[in-house]
Amino acid sequence: MNFMIRYIFIITLLLTFFYCVEGAITPVNISLWPPICLFKEADVYGLDVGIIATKSNKVYGIQFAPLWNRNAEELYGIQMSFINYQSNHLKGIQIGIFGNGIEAANTASILTLMWFTAAGGRLNDAEDSSASEYFPKSKEAPSLGTLNGIQIALWGNWVKWMAGLQVSCIINRTIQADGIQITGLINEAQYKLKGIQIAALNNGGQYSQGAQIGFLNSSGDLRGIQIGFLNISHDCKGVQIGVLNGCYKLKGIQIGALNFIRKPQIITPVMLGLNVGW
């Protein structure tokens, strides 16, 4: 213990009086608390370590600090800290005790999505510039905030576009998910889900292709299956299995105690046990 205290004290003194080189390319970077570091805004090809916290421009390797990690551009490798934040792109793994974020969606983007959903529109048809920024018309990933890999956290994970796996205890949030979201409370793919959601509350956004498993499952256009106590979708082409199932249009099967449907109505809008549409 005494050795660790002396070690941290010596490193602190060295970093405090060391001239910080900006924009360097280095195999190792050591920080006390940005900007007190060996190399400021560095491109690290190897190991980026923070005594308390660390911040670099790019990291190709491992980034670790007890409190928080941050990168300005991209990381190919592993981030481990209490809080991890990546500004642009990450290909690898984020492991955060509290949470992980990669250019997370802001309040404006969430409100934009809610407005279009309530109006019954499609964001691809929108002319609103704020919507096009967060919900691009193309199938490509957005220019900022992408994850190709894994996020693991006790509290939650946030990213704009995810291709891979999100695991947490409380919440996983993304605008578009291509992969798997697993958490104890809330999964959110605010615009589109292509994969699997497992949580108490699942939101597949406007388009959902895959499976939702939880207490409450919600999706706009569903192409797949929902399994839960309450399942809700607008245009269901698939299967809903639950106690309560509801959709506006059905081309598939509903299995539950109460099944609600608007189009097509075979006998009544409410069916007991089984409902089929085509």
Q: What does the pLDDT look like over 203-224, one tens digit per residue?
A: 999 999 999 999 999 999 999 9
One domain for residues 216 and 244: no
The least confident of 11-25, 100-114, 130-144 is 130-144
Average pLDDT of the segment spanning 85-114: 72
Average pLDDT over the chain, rounded to an integer: 82
Question: Which band of pLDDT confidence, cut at 50, 70 and 90, is reported for residue 262?
Answer: confident
One domain for residues 135 and 243: no
One domain for residues 141 and 19: yes
One domain for residues 233 and 171: no
Which of 173, 192, 221 corresponds to the end of one domain?
221
One domain for residues 226 and 269: yes
One domain for residues 202 and 230: no
pLDDT of 20 higher than 70:
no
pLDDT at 152: 96
Question: Which band of pLDDT confidence, cut at 50, 70 and 90, is reported for residue 17?
Answer: very low
Q: Report the number of distinct structural domains present in the chain.
A: 2
One domain for residues 96 and 41: yes
One domain for residues 76 and 132: yes
- Looking at the chain, the whole-number percentage of residues with pLDDT higher than 70 is 75
pLDDT of 183 higher than 60:
yes
> Rounded to two decimals, what is the model's pTM?
0.80
The least confident of 21-25, 155-159, 168-172, 217-221 is 21-25
One domain for residues 148 and 247: no
Dihedral of CA 160/180/186/263: which sign? positive
One domain for residues 183 and 265: no
Residue among 81, 85, 79, 96 nearest 169 (CA): 96
Domain of 63?
2-221
Q: Which residue bears the tokens 């999964």? A: 187
Question: Which band of pLDDT confidence, cut at 50, 70 and 90, is reported for residue 3?
Answer: low
pLDDT of 167 higher than 50:
yes
Local structure of residue 123 (DSSP, 8 states): G
Rounded to 5 degrees, φ, ψ at 180 are -130, 135
One domain for residues 239 and 251: yes
One domain for residues 153 and 251: no
- Looking at the chain, the whole-number percentage of residues with pLDDT higher than 90 is 61
Rounded to 5 degrees, φ, ψ at 117 are -65, -45
Which of 179, 197, 221 corresponds to the end of one domain?
221
